[in-house]
Amino acid sequence: MTADIITIVGKSDSGKTTLLEKLIAELTQRGYRIGTVKHAHDGFEMDKKGKDSQRHRKAGALATLVITDDQIALIRDDRTSYIEKMKTYLLGVDIILAEGFKRQRLPKIEIFRTNSGHKEPLCMEDDTLIAFVTDSGYKPDVPIFGLEDIDKIADFIEENYFRK
């Protein structure tokens, strides 16, 4: 069975990563296995020039797996959708929490802070918005949480997205 995916969205410097870190810690403490995904806008290259894994890829390998005693990293050419990539490569987790992916048709928790320099939230009219984390007066028609309500946000996710 594939885990549900929830995205944490917000404009630049809104606190997405901080919120995600706190949620990961809280849900992990509750005994859940969390998979995470970070959206890389301009692509990225994990292989360092001249290293064996980069040399394998340059030679034409479709996929390269880097293995240590306690970690793995997979670098693979894959043209499937973001959602399919998440579901394929993050097996064995209870939920996938993704940072970014605001344009994907996935459940979204938006974080919006008044001191972030942004005038308004991203997802006020988005029907995939499931919760809103803020210190502002904006009130979309979804559950609203304060910036430090990590326990309550985790409760919301647990009650609505973990399979019983």
pLDDT, one tens digit per residue, over 17-51 is 999 999 999 999 999 999 999 887 665 556 566 77
- Output the DSSP codes for 85-115: HHHHH-TT-SEEEEE--TTSSS-EEEEE-GG
Helices (H), 44-81: 52-58
The chain-wide mean pLDDT, for the chain, equals: 89
Query: Which residue from 78, 122, 89 is spatially nearest to 5, judged by alpha carbons?
Result: 89
- Output the DSSP codes for 127-157: TTEEEEEESSS---SS-EE-TT-HHHHHHHH
pLDDT tens string 70-111: 888 888 889 999 999 999 989 899 999 999 899 999 999 999
pLDDT tens string 105-151: 999 999 999 988 888 999 999 999 999 999 999 999 999 999 999 99
pLDDT of 52 higher than 80: no
Give SS3 for 34: strand
- Using alpha carbons, list the distances in angstroms from residue 89 to 34, 35, 43, 61, 73: 13, 10, 18, 18, 11
Q: What is the pLDDT of residue 41?
A: 65
Per CATH, the architecture of 4-44+80-161 is what?
3-Layer(aba) Sandwich (3.40)
HSE-CB at 137 with a 13 A cutoff on CA atoms is 1
Give pTM, 2 decimals.
Answer: 0.87
Domain positions in the chain are: 4-44+80-161
Give residues with Cβ within 8 angstroms of 96, minimum separation 6. 3, 4, 5, 6, 34, 35, 36, 37, 86, 87, 90
Separation CA 129–CA 122 (nearest Å): 10
Cβ(157)–Cβ(141) below 8 Å: no
Average pLDDT over residues 64-72: 83
Q: What is the pLDDT of residue 98?
A: 94
pLDDT of 164 higher than 60: no
